[in-house]
Amino acid sequence: MLSKTRGTPAHSPAPGVIPDTITTDPVSNGTPAATEPKFAPEEAKFASEHESAASADGAETRAERFRRKALRGRLHGYAVLTIALVAYLIALAASNTAHVKVDWVFGSSQISLVWLVLFTAILGWLLGNLASARFHWRTRAPRRRPDAGA
């Protein structure tokens, strides 16, 4: 974790490399501090990648480029997955166009299977949202009354 320090920052002779010591004491406004390692060895590589991101030429670091490419890859993956899901739902609807007999409590009717599945899915989703809202309302923290503190 990096923290903001007061005083002059130590500059490294090589671009993108962080010095191993703190040259000023952040508490005493610029007086020399004891020589302490700034990062543990395993943290030094991670910190150097993050601090070199603010380079003077504005070039993208390796880590930033990898993160950007990884995000783009995830977004492409989500898009492909969404298209595959929509194609599957269309194929499911096309293959289930046969009419089926549905027995209700007070009678029966013929309905297309796809509409029956769609209706039950929407009904289940609505009932699930209603149950979730009800549980949330019943288990929320009690509200304070304005007159209770007086």
Tens digit of pLDDT for each residue in 116-128? 888 999 999 999 9
Q: Do 17 and 42 have their domain in common?
A: yes
Distance CA 87, CA 47 (A): 45
Query: Among the listed ranges 94-98, 108-112, 122-126, which one has the minimum average pLDDT value?
Result: 94-98
48: in domain = yes
User: Domain limits at 1?
Assistant: 1-59
Q: What is the DSSP track for 87-119?
A: HHHHHHHHHT--EEEEEETTEEEEEEHHHHHHH
Q: Is the pTM of this model over 0.75?
A: no
- pLDDT tens-place string over residues 129-138: 999 999 888 8
Q: Do 109 and 134 have their domain in common?
A: yes
Q: What is the pLDDT of residue 53?
A: 46
